[in-house]
């Protein structure tokens, strides 16, 4: 890829008598999108690795015995990281509104890479006993804390750089990075599963994907350190009496409580469906349906590749017809098609599993293509990073990240293998209510920001 020349920062300019308009710089926009997407890719590389190698991690870090108990323990450590995400959001979000988006995103990149890299260095349960799962939990908590400032910051960063009429298309590349990272992590695990024996995978092979996070973090940090601050934030600083806008945490929560509830509802349906398909289903295919592990992994990888192809086109569609219709279509789709899709998956044949998973993946694109542009548009510039971080992470912690653990427990308690479909349907109902109250933001300036256009003309 050719090097991109650093252009002058974007600044609002006055057009006509009094209307201020931000003319975006294409080079800066491309760099902002790439840097934000790479950070999301690294975050989800870890999630992909963790989800796809969950059965192996259960054998490495937890006492031998019941395989279901080992899997529950592994997903419990996975879910524990989400419990501290709201704390990370409360720290990094307001900090991003105080000192700038770029600085905070560089910090979260360092912490994410360090936490993931550390997992690859932890001794097994057989070597140090109970210290192994405790160290795994500590590393996951570091990851969760740093991730608390990642998605809200990355989506805010892209949204504040993008021209109003292309915010959906450009924001969709954030989730393109998510899928690329997940495919990278899951694909590496799939390759290792095919090439290594079970003994080698448990002994040392599982460490390789986590250790790769170190070099990835250095590259991501380099890209983020070379970015300019967003024009919306610089304009807010100029309007502020102090050198940086100071916003109390109370104003980000109490002053935005209605919007926060709306944000949490949208994030709930987005993340429950996301974690169900990308984190839980690989283990569901293997542990509950006794599906061949390698074939199951390849099916899910194929679904994610399909989602990557569709993602930018769906993002552009949200710019054309609006975010609300696309999100509403996803909610209606999950409500009506979750049961048929899971029944197809339970048939067990490669074609049936592929069709069922493909249907769920295409429905998920309705959210992955819309949310990176829709969520930042809920809040004004002054509190955007902070309020979005809090609302996003509280919802993810309560509902999204706990999805694999809750659904595994529900299936184990009831013996009903249709529980994943019912859980998806419940999330779709909540999402439908949220989208009903959501204002359309496509093609419009972000609240508190000047209109952003691609050229002065």
Separation of CA 225 from chain center: 21
List average pLDDT for each run of 10 residues in the chain, which is 457 residues long. Answer: 39 47 79 84 79 76 69 70 85 88 88 87 84 85 86 91 92 92 84 84 87 82 82 80 59 80 95 87 78 73 92 96 96 96 88 91 96 94 90 88 84 89 96 94 86 73
Gyration radius (Cα) of the chain, Å: 21
What is the DSSP secondary structure assignment for residue 382, as one 8-state letter? G
- In angstroms, rounded to a whole number, what is the distance separating the alpha carbons of residues 99 and 422? 43
Please report which residue ranges of 369-418 form alpha helices under DSSP H.
371-374, 384-395, 403-414
- In angstroms, rounded to a whole number, what is the distance separating the alpha carbons of residues 238 and 234? 6
23-440 is classed in which CATH architecture? Up-down Bundle (1.20)
| Kind and range of the H or E run holding 22 | strand 19-23
- The predicted pLDDT at position 65 comes to 64
The tokens for 340 are 């048929």
Given CA atoms 452, 457, 170, 25 in this order, what sign does their dihedral have?
negative
- The predicted pLDDT at position 149 comes to 87
- In angstroms, rounded to a whole number, what is the distance separating the alpha carbons of residues 22 and 236? 13
- The predicted pLDDT at position 199 comes to 85
- In angstroms, rounded to a whole number, what is the distance separating the alpha carbons of residues 250 and 2? 46
Which residues on adjacent β-strands are paired with residue 453? 23
- In angstroms, rounded to a whole number, what is the distance separating the alpha carbons of residues 33 and 55? 34
- In angstroms, rounded to a whole number, what is the distance separating the alpha carbons of residues 102 and 230? 8
Separation of CA 127 from chain center: 34
Burial profile 64-102: b = 16 or more Cβ within 10 angstroms, e = fewer: eeeeeebbbbbbbbbbbbbebbbebbbbbbbbbbbbbbb
Domain boundaries, the chain: 23-440
- The predicted pLDDT at position 2 comes to 36
The residue to which tokens 């993008």 are assigned:
162
- The predicted pLDDT at position 69 comes to 67
- In angstroms, rounded to a whole number, what is the distance separating the alpha carbons of residues 367 and 3? 32
């Amino acid at each position: 890829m050719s090097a991109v020349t650093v252009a002058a920062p974007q600044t609002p300019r006055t057009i006509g008598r009094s209307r201020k308009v931000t003319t975006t710089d294409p080079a800066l926009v491309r760099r902002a999108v790439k840097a934000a997407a790479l950070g999301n890719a690294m975050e989800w590389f870890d999630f992909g690795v963790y989800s796809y190698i969950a059965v192996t991690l259960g054998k490495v870090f937890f006492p031998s015995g019941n395989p279901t108990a080992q899997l529950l323990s592994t997903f419990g450590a996975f879910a524990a990281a989400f419990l501290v995400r709201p704390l990370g959001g409360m720290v990094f979000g307001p900090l991003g509104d105080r000192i700038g988006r770029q600085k905070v995103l560089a910090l979260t990149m360092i912490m994410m890479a360090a936490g993931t890299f550390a997992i690859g260095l932890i001794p097994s349960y057989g070597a140090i006993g109970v210290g192994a799962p405790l160290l795994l939990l500590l590393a996951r908590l570091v990851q969760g804390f740093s991730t608390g400032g990642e998605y809200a910051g990355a989506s805010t960063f892209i949204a504040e750089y993008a021209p109003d009429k292309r915010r959906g298309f450009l924001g969709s590349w954030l989730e393109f990075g998510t899928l690329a990272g997940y495919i990278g992590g899951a694909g590496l695990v799939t390759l290792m599963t095919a090439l290594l024996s079970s003994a080698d995978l448990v002994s040392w092979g599982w460490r390789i994907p986590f250790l790769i996070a170190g070099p990835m973090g250095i590259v991501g940090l380099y890209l983020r350190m070379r970015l300019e601050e967003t024009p919306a934030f610089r304009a807010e600083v100029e309007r502020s009496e102090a050198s940086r806008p100071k916003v109390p945490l109370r104003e980000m929560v109490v002053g935005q409580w209605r919007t926060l509830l709306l944000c949490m509802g949208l994030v709930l349906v987005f993340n429950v469906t996301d974690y169900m398909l990308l984190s839980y289903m690989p283990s569901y295919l293997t542990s509950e349906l006794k599906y061949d592990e390698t074939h199951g992994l390849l099916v899910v990888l194929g679904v994610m590749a399909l989602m990557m192809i569709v993602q930018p086109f769906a993002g552009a569609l949200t710019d054309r017809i609006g975010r609300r219709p696309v999100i509403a279509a996803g909610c209606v789709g999950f409500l009506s098609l979750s049961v048929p899709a899971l029944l197809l998956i339970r048939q067990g044949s490669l074609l049936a599993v592929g069709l069922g998973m493909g249907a769920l993946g295409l429905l998920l694109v309705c959210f992955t293509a819309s949310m990176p542009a829709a969520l930042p548009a809920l809040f004004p510039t002054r509190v955007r990073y902070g309020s979005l971080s809090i609302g996003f992470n509280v919802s993810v912690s309560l509902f999204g990240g706990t999805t694999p653990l809750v659904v595994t427990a529900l299936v184990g308690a009831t013996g009903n293998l249709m529980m994943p479909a019912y859980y998806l349907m419940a999330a779709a109902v909540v999402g439908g209510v949220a989208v009903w109250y959501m204002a359309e933001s496509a093609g419009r300036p972000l609240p508190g920001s000047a209109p952003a256009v691609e050229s002065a003309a």
